Amino acid sequence: MRTAVAGAAAPVFGPRFLDTLERRLEAYQAIPPAAAATEEAFWREVRKAFPPHPDYINLENGYASPQPIPTWDAFQRHEQAVNNGLSFYMRRRRAADYASVKQQLAGLAGCPADEIAITRNTTESLGTVIHGIDLAPGDEAVMCDQDYGTMLEQFRQQSRRRGLKSVEIQVPLHPRDDQEIVDTYARAITPRTKLLLLSHMINITGQILPVRRVADMAHARGVAVIVDAAHSFAQLVFTLPDLDGDYLGASLHKWLCTPLGAGLLHVKKDRIRGLWPLLGETSVPDDDIRKLERIGTHPVWTVMAIADAIRFHNLVGGARKEARLRYLQEYWTDRVREIPKVYLNTPTGARACAIANVGIAGWKPGVLADALLDRHRIYTVAIDTAPVKGVRVTPHLYTTTDELDALVAAIGELARA
């Protein structure tokens, strides 16, 4: 089967494309988010801003998001501009651009800009925390077996290196209520527990965890909280103070739709001093978050394009985006739920948004994902872990209900086979 490289064939629309889209979308600005979720004319306009996938239906937008064309276009202009005056830009302009981007990110995150570091991804953000906190042998960290593998690996390394005890708990796929989740984490905490990692949105199932309630419980026991917001940032509407994590990492190339390689690390002001920069930095005060940003020369145009991605995000509207993504997920999950042999690994209602995970009894996840792709031209990803077996399906803002109808029909056909 042929596969299109997303964006490779897309035309450069030029700097005015976003202005034009903005004017087209103006007509819809008065529609409340819940109603806008089903306003197909609005989403058809939004779809025009994304690169086409002519060869397959892309329902694997959890890895990273394609950039909308206006952002991709701006990204290329930034790269060209920097390349034209490389050293001059780096020495004389870069700091101001970074400060401006940080200010805009802080606006989106609802926190002070001096609590934000720009990183390259969640792995780097949370690695900076996991490896930068002073830990003693025998200290404990609580996490769950559905957390992202790289984070679990980073903790395992801390166990080898410093004698940290990593405690991996199991979180139910379909919790009765928030309290069940809070109790599950609470049971794992001992007097030696120093850290608790939890995912705001579990990547393999899409389950949204009650971060604030878990954080309140952990704080009451003197435990610091690390939030993995890789998928929730810019997919869900919330501010970082709402969650009250001590440390939070997000990948902006997921739901903020920036170019690949953009991330955010939030550290509460009073926690910055206690965090060691991994690569060494003593030239700024210990409580200055910029000590975490000395990573050497890297593609700065990615950072510049964060501002363009925020503009696009605000144009679509955070609340409209969340409502639409949840609507798309429920559109297909509601239709496959009653098909014999089909099971869902994702909870209902406000406990999920764009991402859901589905399986068919008797089908190995990899075989199911291959059948969807080879027989139906629908791209998903197999999840085959001890707690979760199924395929992850992740629509995006450009996904149409026709495409989801094709998914529903395909799952029905395979379940009957």
Residues that bind ligand PLP (CB under 6 A): 121-123, 148, 150, 199, 203, 228, 230-231, 251
Nearest approach, Cβ of residue 355 and ligand PLP (Å)? 9
Nearest distance from C-beta of residue 167 to ligand PLP, angstroms: 19
Give the list of residues 6+ apart from residue 138 with CB closer than 8 angstroms, or none. 163, 165, 192
* Cβ-based nearer residue to ligand PLP, 175 or 263: 263
Contact of 173 with 227, CB cutoff 8 Å: no
Identity of the residue, 128 or 203, whose beta carbon is nearer to ligand PLP in the bound complex? 203
Q: How far is the CB of 345 from ligand PLP (least distance, A)?
A: 15
28 contacts 36 by C-beta, under 8 angstroms: yes
- Closer CB to ligand PLP, 122 or 302, in the complex: 122
Closest by CA to 263, choosing from 230, 225, 235, is 230
Rounded to a whole number of angstroms, the minimum distance from the CB of residue 228 to ligand PLP is 5
Spatial CA neighbour of 257 closest among 4, 51, 71: 71
Q: At what angle do helices 365-376 and 401-416 cross, to 10 degrees?
A: 120
Residues near 156 by beta carbon (within 8 Å), at least 6 away in sequence: 166
In 10 A of CB 60, how many CB atoms?
A: 20
Closer Cβ to ligand PLP, 248 or 371, answer by number: 248
**CB-nearer residue toward ligand PLP: 50 or 148:** 148
**Residue 320, both tokens:** 């409209």
- Residue 344 bridge partners (DSSP): 358
CB of 58 to ligand PLP, least distance (A): 16
Which one, 71 or 199, has the nearer CB to ligand PLP?
199
What's the closest the beta carbon of residue 150 comes to ligand PLP, in angstroms?
6
Both structure tokens of 374: 């080879």
